[in-house]
Structure formats: structure tokens, C-alpha cells
């Protein structure tokens, strides 16, 4: 058991470690998916599960592709959370959820539906990240497409691991469309999506595009050094 001794400034924990802080007993749960080092905490006194960024208060979580986000692990972690049968879910965003099973099953259903639509888009001829995002998220505000693109990329990886992608679909060519090509096509789609484009719209597009470029560069550097 790990106790609250902060003399060294920090305490290292891993999955299944038990932590005791002020009489409150917590079990560390290794929960990769959102990132490769994501951790959840089970409050043993109340059987409440602190899920971090695995769940959000509204909508679905965006996996961090620049920090080891992985769709296969995300599914596995969600099933592990279900097996724990927590009484309450506490996420880092949004309200406490009193119906953990319904929430987690809803997340699984949403992710399966998204993945099925991604496969449908690919089977219909979509070969680039932008084409897939535009098809799957056609009814979603285009400002959300940048964030959604991370999940799409991880879903494509998950489909590849399951050997579900059509033989004519090239993973390497797809990855080549995930950087500046996607950003430039998104900027055009976003700014041309309204007849009245104000300065604020261009500013938002520029800021989001800048962030996307930084993520793209960071991802490439990570791949080169790994």
C-alpha cells in the first residue's frame, strides 16, 4: 500500500497499486486509450471510479493521438471499467454520472457506430483523412472536424489491426494525407461553409489550423525518434 508521504515531491504509482490518502483508499487502474499512460482511480470506500479523460460530461472523448492514444486500448479499458461495476463515474470534464453502465455502454455503441461509418466511407471510395471525416461527420459543426480527425485516424488503425480494411486501401497513402493536406482542405471547407465569413471565423480557423500543424509536426518528430 502506498501512503501519503510527499517528502520526495511525488509518489510513483502503477496499475493495481493501492493508495491511502487521509484515510481514503484508492486503487490505481491502468487505463490506456486516451493516452498510453492514462490512469483511473477506484475509490474503494464508495466504489466510485474516477475515469479522468476517458469519459466526458457531454459528447464523446477525443483520444490524444500525439500522446499514445489508441482505439484498441480504449475499447479494452472501457470493458474493464464495465467489469469493475462502479457505483459512480467521475470524469475530469462534466458532472458526476450516477449510471456508469449506461454511460460506458453508450460510449461503446457510439465508437462502434463511428467505426462502422468510417469503414463504409472507405468502402465507398474515400482514401484521404479529409474525405472520411467529411463523410462521417457531415452533420457535425466543421469546427469540430480537427478534433474528430484524431479519432478517425485511430479508428482506421483499429480497423487495420482487425484486417477489415479493403485490400485496395493504402494505409501509407492515407497517413500521407493526415497532415497539412487535411488542414488546408479543412480551412477551405470551414471558411466556404458560410456565405458571411467574419474576422472571427478566419481567426478561429487560423488558430485551430496552427494547433493542427503543431500536432502534425510533433507527431512526425515522435515517429522519427521512436
Structural domain contains residue 112: yes
Structural domain contains residue 165: yes
* DSSP per-residue string spanning 12-76: ---TT-EEEETTEEEEEEE--SSSTT-EEEEETTTTEEEEETSS-SSS-PPP-GGGT--HHHHHH
Cβ neighbourhood burial of 49 (10 Å; 0-12, 13-18, 19+) = buried
Structural domain contains residue 149: yes
| Domain total in the chain | 1
Does 226 or 124 have the greater pLDDT score?
124
Structural domain contains residue 100: yes
User: Residue 78: which domain range?
Assistant: 31-225
Could you give the residue ranges of the DSSP H alpha helices within the chain? 71-84, 100-123, 129-136, 145-161, 171-175, 180-191, 199-225
Structural domain contains residue 3: no
Cβ-Cβ contacts under 8 Å for 190 (sequence gap 6 or more) = 142, 143, 145, 201, 205
Structural domain contains residue 215: yes
- Whether the full predicted model's pTM is greater than 0.85, yes or no, is no
What pLDDT, on the 0 to 100 scale, is given for residue 50? 97
Structural domain contains residue 10: no
pLDDT confidence band for 191 (50 / 70 / 90): confident
Render pLDDT for 37-66 as a digit per residue (tens, 0 to 9).
999 999 999 999 999 999 997 778 899 999
Structural domain contains residue 7: no
- Rounded CA separation 209/186 (Å): 9
Render pLDDT for 128-183 as a digit per residue (tens, 0 to 9).
999 999 999 999 999 999 999 999 999 999 999 999 999 999 999 999 999 999 99
Amino acid at each position: 500500500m502506498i501512503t501519503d508521504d510527499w517528502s520526495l515531491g511525488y509518489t510513483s504509482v502503477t496499475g493495481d497499486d493501492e493508495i491511502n490518502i487521509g484515510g481514503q483508499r484508492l486503487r490505481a487502474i491502468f487505463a490506456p486509450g486516451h493516452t498510453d499512460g492514462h490512469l483511473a482511480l477506484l475509490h474503494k470506500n464508495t466504489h466510485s471510479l474516477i475515469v479522468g479523460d476517458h469519459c466526458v460530461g457531454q459528447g464523446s472523448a477525443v483520444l490524444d493521438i500525439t500522446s499514445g492514444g489508441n482505439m484498441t486500448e480504449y475499447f479494452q479499458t472501457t470493458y474493464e471499467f464495465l467489469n469493475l461495476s462502479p457505483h459512480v463515474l467521475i470524469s475530469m470534464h462534466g458532472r458526476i454520472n450516477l449510471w456508469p453502465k449506461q454511460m460506458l455502454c453508450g460510449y461503446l455503441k457510439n465508437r462502434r457506430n463511428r467505426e462502422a461509418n468510417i469503414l463504409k466511407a472507405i468502402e465507398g471510395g474515400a482514401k484521404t483523412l479529409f474525405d472520411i471525416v467529411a463523410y462521417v461527420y457531415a452533420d457535425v459543426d466543421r469546427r469540430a472536424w480537427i478534433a474528430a480527425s484524431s479519432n478517425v485516424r485511430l479508428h482506421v488503425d483499429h480497423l487495420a489491426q482487425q484486417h477489415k480494411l479493403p485490400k485496395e486501401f493504402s494505409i501509407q497513402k492515407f497517413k500521407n494525407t493526415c497532415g497539412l493536406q487535411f488542414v488546408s482542405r479543412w480551412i477551405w471547407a470551414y471558411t466556404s461553409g458560410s456565405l458571411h465569413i467574419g474576422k472571427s471565423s478566419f481567426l478561429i480557423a487560423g488558430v485551430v489550423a496552427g494547433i493542427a500543424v503543431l500536432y502534425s509536426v510533433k507527431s512526425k518528430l515522435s515517429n522519427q525518434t521512436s
